[in-house]
Amino acid sequence: MDGYLHSIESMGLVDGPGVRSVVFLSGCLLRCRYCHNPDTWKEGMGTRISPRQLVDKLRRFMPYYRSGGGVTFSGGEPLLQPEFLGEALRLARQAGIHTCIDTSGVGRAEDGQYREILANTSLVLYDVKHYLPDEYLKLTGMPMDETARFLQIAQEMQVPMWIRHVVVPGLTDGEEHLAGLRKFVDGLSCVERVELLPYHRLGVHKYETMKLAYSLADTPVMNPDVCAGLQKKYFAEYTAK
């Protein structure tokens, strides 16, 4: 039941509503070309902790959660530690803490485990890597089946969802691509918000330190103003007021 933490951010402001504790769990099966956290890929690394110990830590920050905040489980990929995540979510909910998972939907869990996790999840931040299977495989190195299975269960359970999508110049910033993304989003239920995130290079130094090749070395950062314009054009009604 113990889990492995990569790190904890105590005052997160961009990973869900309000002021949040962001719990980064170790391990990820995807190898997204633009990933800025390659140091979270390896499973079974980091600080070992029980769900009870973690939630006891989170209780100390409850005065900050009064703004509508809470805890967000991120990574890596939190769904790779389903038993730990499920129990930590249950205990957090029991303590009156708003719960959120930031996920690409690629875990290693049975349908029942996903249901147990989502039953104690107030909000899903769902990272759409791509909506086309072939392009998804090129971008992440994995087939789309697992994330589609998770998304189907989340839809069946009607869990509130924010969609996130990284806009990479020359890769996911085209008009045809974004129109397709809008069609994909319109086919989902319970989507409260869509966030187009401009591609950045803040994690490139990690690849250098870890002696890993970075496939987007020649790709420029996404202009935030251009990205904001695309947000307004394609997802105005899904944008936070």
pLDDT in tens, 102-147: 999 999 899 999 999 999 999 999 999 999 999 999 999 999 999 9
Angle, to 10 degrees, between the axis of helix 145-156 and the axis of helix 111-119?
50
Amino acid, res. 33:
R
**How many residues are there in the chain?**
241
CATH number for position 91? 3.20.20.70
Name the residue range of residue 18's domain.
3-238
Model confidence at 240, pLDDT cuts 50, 70, 90, reads confident
Q: Taking the CB of residue 136, how many other CB atoms lie within 10 A of it?
A: 20
Domain count of the chain? Answer: 1
Q: Which is nearest to 31 in space by CA: 174, 136, 154, 185?
A: 136
Two tokens at 27? 């391990």
Cα dihedral 177→183→189→190 (10° resolution)? 50
Find the range with the poorest average confidence among 66-70, 113-117, 180-184, 186-190.
66-70
| pTM score, whole prediction | 0.95
pLDDT in tens, 56-94: 999 999 999 988 999 999 999 999 999 999 999 999 999
**pLDDT surpassing 80 at residue 241:** no
